[in-house]
Amino acid sequence: MSSTGSVFTILGLGALAAAVLPRLVRGRPLSMPIVFLAAGAVAGLLPLPLPELDPVADRVWVEHITEVCVIVSLMGAGLALNRPFGLRAWAGPGRLIGITLPLTVLATTVLIWVLFDWPWATALLVGALLAPTDPVLAAEVRVGEPTDDENDEDEVRFTLTAEAGLNDGLAFPFVLAALALAAAGGVWAEADWGRWFGVDLLAKAAIGVAVGLALGRLLGWMFFRAGSSSLRLSEHMEGFVALAATFLSYGLAELAHGYGFVAVFVTACAVRAAERGHGYHKVLHGFTEQIERVLTAGLLFLLGHYLVTDGLAALTWEMVLLAVALLVVIRPLTGWVAQLGFVTGPRERVVTAVFGLRGIGSLFYLAYALGHHGFDGQARDLWALTATTVALSVLLHGASATPVIRRLDRLREIRPPGAPP
């Protein structure tokens, strides 16, 4: 069998499996990402005539394909959220962004410095790229399709979905901080922290929000209230328009030197707010979910293939220790701290704190960072560490999400949060 024939055969089987697997694994302690990760690992062990996979040599295409996967996921997450924006209504994800995200970066950076003989810039980079979460990899912990009920989302699913939608973009300042430190030769005092604070932390985030709001409101008017029926796309139920909104918001924000990830998520939320109960949102969300599923399945297949063919060879016990510590100690602890005094009950706080999945965003940030000077000599170690962390998260959270969330749902029906025992 030729290499081309193998690739197309696997692509066809993968696309078919991406359509069938979600229904086959529903209700079981298993997830579609686990299956594709395992399939990639098995393919790597078999003598199949597949192309060589090297994320270091092929950094550019890895960066762009993970970039597309992330922004499509962000559009889907924003369109799925039923709850209108408000400081009190969004307090849960706000706490995880404002407290858990920086604490996770800090704790991971310090642990890297303790375990590895790596420069501070590399330690900070690892902290930044492993901080974003991604509930796409465990469907049970994210909200479902859009509905016309603003109050049908439980706090755990809403908080985890909104957190992932926001922190995929708001982790970028920490990545840029690592790049600034590397550019300064690892000397903290010589890095341009004034520019980082004013531009990378504040201005770019503000531009992303502004672009997202402006475009989202414009598209919302066009979809639902334009005078011409040709422009009111909600009447024609064209799902692929979600891709237009995704690429437009991301591209315009990047051209304006803002954070495109933030712009995409805000655009999705603004489009949703334009006519919250309209059935067109289900069409848009369904289309993005299908694209997201195919992209995620392909990337996880490649991740499993890379791990068994190259990644595990560079793995050390310190890397495994760091990955485990991040998933079972750092994220749960920082997630719990962020929710102290929050309105939810203790069981909801525990689940929200524990299910901070690592995913495609981490792979994108690493590929992006390696396109800059300062980390070339550690590229293979960084890929092995990041890929292992994502794989462990897929396995751990993917297998536990269904039984944990189902038990939480049953307990919520029996005794609502805050009710006396």
* Residue 139: predicted pLDDT: 67
Backbone torsion region of residue 157, taken as left when φ is above 0, otherwise alpha when ψ lies between -120 and 50, otherwise beta: alpha
User: Is a pLDDT exceeding 90 seen at residue 211?
Assistant: yes
Q: What is the pLDDT of residues 277-291, one digit of tens each?
A: 788 888 998 889 899
Q: Are 71 and 254 in contact (CB under 8 A)?
A: no
* Residue 148: predicted pLDDT: 62
User: Is a pLDDT exceeding 80 seen at residue 25?
Assistant: no
User: Is a pLDDT exceeding 90 seen at residue 215?
Assistant: yes
Rounded Cα distance, 274 and 290, in Å: 23
- pLDDT level of residue 414 (50, 70, 90 thresholds): low
Structure tokens at 328: 């079972």
Rounded Cα distance, 234 and 402, in Å: 34
Average pLDDT of the chain is 88
* Residue 138: predicted pLDDT: 64
* Residue 149: predicted pLDDT: 62
C-alpha separations of 332 from 50, 104, 350, 356, 390 in Å: 39, 10, 7, 8, 16
Contacts 24+ apart (CB under 8 A), 149-154: 149/82, 150/82, 150/83, 150/84, 150/276, 151/82, 151/83, 152/82, 153/81, 153/82, 153/83, 154/348, 154/409, 154/412
* Residue 231: predicted pLDDT: 79
Q: Which residue has the higher pLDDT, 412 or 337?
A: 337
Rounded Cα distance, 157 and 265, in Å: 17
Q: Mean per-residue pLDDT for 40-61?
A: 86
| Contacts with 243 (C-beta within 8 Å, 6 or more apart), sequence order | 72, 287, 288, 291
Q: What percent of the chain has pLDDT over 90?
A: 56
Rounded Cα distance, 359 and 32, in Å: 14
Q: What is the pLDDT of residues 115-152, one digit of tens each?
A: 998 999 999 999 999 999 986 676 678 777 776 666 56
* Residue 27: predicted pLDDT: 67
> Three-state SS for 344?
coil
- pLDDT level of residue 420 (50, 70, 90 thresholds): very low
Q: What is the pLDDT of residues 379-398, one digit of tens each?
A: 999 999 999 999 999 999 88
What is the Cα 188 distance to its own chain's centre? 29
User: Is a pLDDT exceeding 50 seen at residue 1?
Assistant: no
Q: State the pTM of this model.
A: 0.92
Q: What is the pLDDT of residues 154-192, one digit of tens each?
A: 888 899 999 999 998 899 999 999 999 999 998 999 999
- pLDDT level of residue 8 (50, 70, 90 thresholds): confident
Rg (C-alpha) for the chain, rounded Å, is 21
User: Is a pLDDT exceeding 50 seen at residue 274?
Assistant: yes
Rounded Cα distance, 383 and 370, in Å: 10
Structure tokens at 203: 């201005």
Q: Are 352 and 339 in contact (CB under 8 A)?
A: yes
